Amino acid sequence: VDHLLVMMAAVVIAISLMLMASKPLTQFVNSHPTIVILCLSFLLMIGFSLVAEGFGFVIPKGYLYAAIGFSVMIEALNQLAIFNRRRFLSANQTLRQRTTEAVMRLLSGQKEDAELDAETASMLVDHGNQQIFNPQERRMIERVLNLNQRTVSSIMTSRHDIEHIDL
């Protein structure tokens, strides 16, 4: 040990950096629990590599780097999916309400900037400015889609109110 003071200074600096970074790292890991699994898999790969080298087996570092890179890429896609799922589920409306609105927008003939297939585009061109569905058809579909807002008693007829006819 020729440079004991340099080693001691390096250890003190490393410990102080770890203490300063521990709180932000803890918050990050707590907000992204799948990162813990990723870090543990990295530690396992590195540990396995070191044990294998200890027994004399040579594992090319390129394999380890490729595995780590692939894992990081998969985790990035996973985080993107989680972000999109949270954004999708945090909308003020339920999925059923958004679907109903989308169907009613389509049925009402409101034009939106969207890419259409050839058949749909030809239907719109053939009909010009007139509506594809008449108002009665639109109301019928809207009532079907809004059935979830009605109570069962408003839809059903009580069997006491039914008249029986013997034929």
How many domains, in total, are found in the chain?
2
**CB–CB of 45/38 below 8 Å?**
no
Q: Which residue has the tokens 């061109």?
A: 125
Are 114 and 131 part of one and the same domain? yes
Are 108 and 56 part of one and the same domain? no
Domain termination residue (choose one: 44, 74, 89): 89
* 117-155: pLDDT as tens digits: 666 666 656 555 556 677 888 788 878 877 777 888 887
* 31-90: pLDDT as tens digits: 888 888 888 888 899 999 999 999 999 888 898 899 989 988 998 998 898 888 887 776
Q: What's the pLDDT score for residue 47?
A: 92
| Residues of the domain holding 137 | 95-152
> 161 to each of 5, 11, 155, 167, how far by Cα in Å?
97, 87, 13, 19
The answer, as to whether pTM is greater than 0.85, is: no
Could you give the CA distance from residue 58 to residue 52 in angstroms, rounded to a whole number?
7
Say if residue 27's pLDDT is above 70: yes
Q: Which residue has the tokens 């954004």?
A: 87
Domain termination residue (choose one: 53, 73, 89): 89
User: Quick check: is 160 in a domain?
Assistant: no
